[in-house]
Amino acid sequence: MLSPLLLCVLAAAIVFEFINGFHDTANAIATTVYTRALPLRVAILMSATMNFIGALMSEKVAMTIAHGLVNVSLELYVILAALIGAIIWDLFTWWFSIPSSSSHALIGSLIGATMVFTSSLDTVMWDGVLMKVVIPLFTSPLVGMALGFSVMHLVFELFANWHPSKANAFFHKAQICSSMFMAYSHGNNDAQKTMGIITLAMIGAGLLPEGSGVPTWVKIMCAFTMAMGTSIGGGRIMKTVGSGVTKLEPVMGFVSEFSSAVAIETMTALGAPVSTTQVLTTSVMGTGSARGAKKVKWGMAGSIFTAWVVTLPATMLLGGLCALIIGAIL
């Protein structure tokens, strides 16, 4: 029988995944919607389907969350505190339309809650944090930007002799395929964070043996919850990514989605939890800058970079504070 505290953890995990849906998953379809390659409702259905498929394909990122960040058995209230800290940060950045990272919010909050719980720095696997979190945090958006810039130049060369209307029609259709790839890659990486935290909680509650993989029902629940979040609240971040960074055309939407998906799939293969938000946003920047630096709204880029740097330390503080409060109450 599930304890009341474990039920609270599961409920908080579902809330986090739902918020992750309208905070992060919207990016998988943002450029497609803003270039009108697909109507919003069709794009949401496609994104939900591909997210669901992607979420079932791998466990590497979930295993990083469950077994690669802390080396101590956590009490359930600590995991609850980590989820609440991440939820607070996600809602804050969503409200202000800042494309921050739900992934790094959860990781930072988990690290902060663990340090408060153990009153020690030694229970955090800092090598794992460095290799699986910090380095991908900075490299994955740069890879997205570089790919966006390079692929856009390649497209210029390959389609230089095409009539603009013909090229526009081609990329309108091609962008449907690139957005499917993007949604799949998002599910294959981002949906796994909550799977990992639920697995960690079930191990802590003694319902799974140490080192266990993700139960199938957890995968299905997380994928479904994320899809529901996308359908309800994705508009704010979609506006920032779709039109707040640069003026998008179908060819730019295709290139940015394709480049982002390649970068995310590479990181997923390495078991690194990365931010779809940040990778896609920087890929859009790279795509726009290939047409000239003035095509990019660098003021928005500055806000994104600030959130990029601040998320981990801010959520470590939030997670630690939540652990102190919940621990005192219990």
DSSP 298-309: HHHHHHHHHHHH
Model confidence at 252, in pLDDT bands (50, 70, 90)? confident
Is the pLDDT higher at 12 or at 40? Answer: 12
Return the minimum-mean-pLDDT range out of 90-94, 202-206, 271-275, 302-306: 302-306
Residue matched to tokens 């494309």: 99
pLDDT the model gives residue 244: 47
Query: 323: exposed, middle or buried (C-beta count within 10 Å: 0-12, 13-18, 19+)?
Result: buried
Is the pLDDT higher at 225 or at 249? Answer: 225
Is the pLDDT higher at 179 or at 24? Answer: 179
Number of structural domains the chain divides into: 1
Give me the percent of the chain exceeding a pLDDT of 70.
87
* Structure-block tokens of residue 196: 């990992």
Give me the percent of the chain exceeding a pLDDT of 90.
35
Residue 116 has pLDDT above 90, yes or no: yes
Residue 44 has pLDDT above 80, yes or no: no
pLDDT the model gives residue 245: 45
Is the pLDDT higher at 140 or at 302? Answer: 140
Mean pLDDT (the chain, rounded): 84
Is the pLDDT higher at 146 or at 276? Answer: 146
pLDDT the model gives residue 327: 93
pLDDT the model gives residue 36: 75
pLDDT the model gives residue 299: 66
pLDDT digits (tens, 9 = 90+) for 192-240: 888 999 998 998 888 888 878 889 899 889 888 887 777 665 554 454 4
Buried b (16+ CB within 10 A) or exposed e, 134-172: eebbeebbebbbebbbebbeebeeeeeeeeeeebeeebb
Q: What is the dihedral of CA 55, 58, 59, 60, to 10 degrees?
A: -120
Model confidence at 73, in pLDDT bands (50, 70, 90)? confident
Distance CA 51, CA 167 (A): 29
pLDDT digits (tens, 9 = 90+) for 154-195: 999 999 899 888 898 899 889 889 989 988 998 888 888 889
> pTM for this structure?
0.85
Domain containing 124: what range? 4-329
